[in-house]
Amino acid sequence: MAVVEALVIDNLACRRGGRLLFDAVSAHVAPGGALLLTGPNGAGKSSLLRLLAGLLQPETGTVTGGGRRAFAGHDVALKPRNTLGTELDYWARLDGGQQRLPGALAAMNLTALVDVPCRHLSSGQKRRAALARVIAAGADCWLLDEPTAGLDTASSALLVAAMAAHRAAGGLVVAAVHGDIGLADAASLRLG
Amino acid sequence: MFFTLLRRDLLAIARSPALWLPVMFFVLTAALFPFAVGPDARLLARIAPGIIWVAALLASLLPVETLLAPDVEDGSIDQLISRGIALELVCAARIVAHWIGFAVPLLAALPVAGVLLGLSGADGTRLAIALLLGTPALASLAVIAAALTAGLKGGGALAGLIVLPLALPVLIFGVGSDVAGAFRLLGAASLVALAVGPFAAAAALRPE
C-alpha cells in the first residue's frame, strides 16, 4: 500500500430532505488510524459515511485525503441468483484486485461458500461477503456502516483481525457503530 | 472496464427468467393479428410493418422494471459510484446489453413474424434494416425511462408513458422506411438517442 494522506473532514454539514442532519463536523484520521462514528439513530452516521463515499454531496465543508475509499453500507449489493464467487469476482475485477480476492475470502471465512448462490446465504454471511469485497478492493480507507450488525462472535473476531491488519499496513478505518467493535485506540466522533 | 460491466449485464440478462419474454411477445403479437384482422393477405402485408414496429417498441419496454431498479435497490449503484466509476459508462453498457437482449432475438424472430403476416421478401429485408437502425434508439429510451423510474413503485407503467412520445419519431420513420431518406432519419434518431441516453440515464440515477 502506498503512503496515504490523512483523511481530513473539515466543517462538514449535511442536509437530507430539507432537514439539517449535522453541521460543523470536523475530524482528522491519520494513516493507520480509525474513527468511530457514534450517536443515536438518525443522527447522520450513515449519511456521513455516504458523504465520505461520494454518494452524497455535503451542504458545506470539504473532505480531503484518505486515498482510495471502499464502502460497505447496509445494502450488500449481491445478486440473489449469482454465486458468491461470481459476485465478488466481478467487483474485484472492477477494482483490479482479483489476486487479493482469495485472501479476502479467507479472511472472512467465506472460501467454502464461493459456489453458493447468494439467495441461500444468511444475512450474516452476506454481511461478511460485503466486508470481503472491501478487503479485496485494496482501498486505503474503509468506510463501514455498522459492520458487526448480524455477525456472530467468531465473525466479529475475523473483522477485528482484518481491520487490525489493514491499519498496521497504514490503512484507515471509519466505522459507524453502536457499541464497541474491537477497534483499538480509535478516535470517536459523536453526532447528534 | 466497459467490457467488465457489459459482460455482467449480459450474464444477468442470460440468467433472467424473463429472457424469452420480449421475443415471445413479439412473435405472439405477429401471430395474433391475422386472427384479429382476418385472412386478407394484402391488408395484412400492408399493415405488417406497423404491427412489427409497435410490437418491437412494446417488447423493448417489457424488461424496463428490471433494467436498473434492482441495482438501485440492492446497493450495486452505490458500490459503482463509491468506486468512482462513471455512471455514464454503466448506463452505456446497460443500453448495449439491453439492445443485445431484446433487439437481436427480435431480429432473429423477424422471418417468423414476416411469414405470419404475409410479408414479401423485399419488404421483410427493408424492415429488418429499419429495425437494425431503429432499435438502438428504443434500447436507449428504455434505459433512460428505467433510470427515471428506478425506486418508484409501479415504475413500469410510468416508464411506458415516458418512452412512448419519445419513440414516435422512430416509429414513424421505421414504418415509413419505403420513403426516401427514412433510413437516414432512423439512423439519426438512433444516434441522437445513443448520444443522449447514457448522460440522461446517469443524471437520473445520481443521488441528489
Q: How far is A149 from chain B (nearest CA, A)?
A: 17
Number of domains in chain B: 1
Comparing A21-25, A102-106, A122-126, B204-208, the range with the smallest average pLDDT is B204-208
CA distance B76 to B54: 33
CB B59 within 8 A of CB B22: yes
- Smallest Cβ distance to B75: which of A77, A82, A143? A77
CA distance A90 to B164: 35
CA distance B95 to B9: 10
Residue range A102-159, pLDDT digits in tens: 999 999 999 999 999 999 999 999 999 999 999 999 999 999 999 988 899 999 999 9
Residue range of the domain that includes B53: 2-205
CA distance B168 to B162: 11
C-alpha cell at position B92 = 452505456
Looking at residue A4, its pLDDT comes to 78
C-alpha cell at position B195 = 448520444
- Give, in order, the Cα–Cα distances in Å from B173 to each of A1, A98, B151, B179: 56, 47, 33, 8
Cβ <8 Å between B82 and A71 = yes
CB B163 within 8 A of CB B145: yes
- Smallest Cβ distance to A91: which of B79, B81, B84? B79
CB B127 within 8 A of CB B137: no
Helix (H, G, I), strand (E, B) or coil at B84: coil
- Smallest Cβ distance to B85: which of A50, A76, A94? A94
Cβ <8 Å between A53 and B81 = yes
ipTM over 0.85: yes
Residue range A154-180, pLDDT digits in tens: 999 999 999 999 999 999 999 998 877
- Give, in order, the Cα–Cα distances in Å from A71 to each of A50, A92, A158, B132: 8, 14, 18, 41
Residue range B122-162, pLDDT digits in tens: 889 999 999 999 999 999 999 999 999 998 887 888 898 99
Q: How far is A56 from chain B (nearest CA, A)?
A: 7
CA distance B175 to A47: 50
Looking up cell 448506463 gives B91
Q: How far is B203 from chain A (nearest CA, A)?
A: 13
**Pick among B6, B16, B78, B87 to test the A interface (most A CBs inside 10 A):** B78
DSSP labels, A122-177: -HHHHHHHHHHHHHHHT-SEEEEESTTTT--HHHHHHHHHHHHHHHHTT-EEEEE-
CB atoms inside a 10 Å sphere around CB A13: 16
Query: Does residue A3 surpass a pLDDT of 70?
Result: no
Q: What percent of chain A has pLDDT over 90?
A: 69
Say how far residue B14 (Cα) sits from the centre of its chain: 16
Residue B83 touches chain A, beta carbons under 8 Å: yes
CB A171 within 8 A of CB A32: yes
Q: In which band, very low, low, confident or very high, does the pLDDT at B208 lie, cut at 50, 70 and 90?
A: low
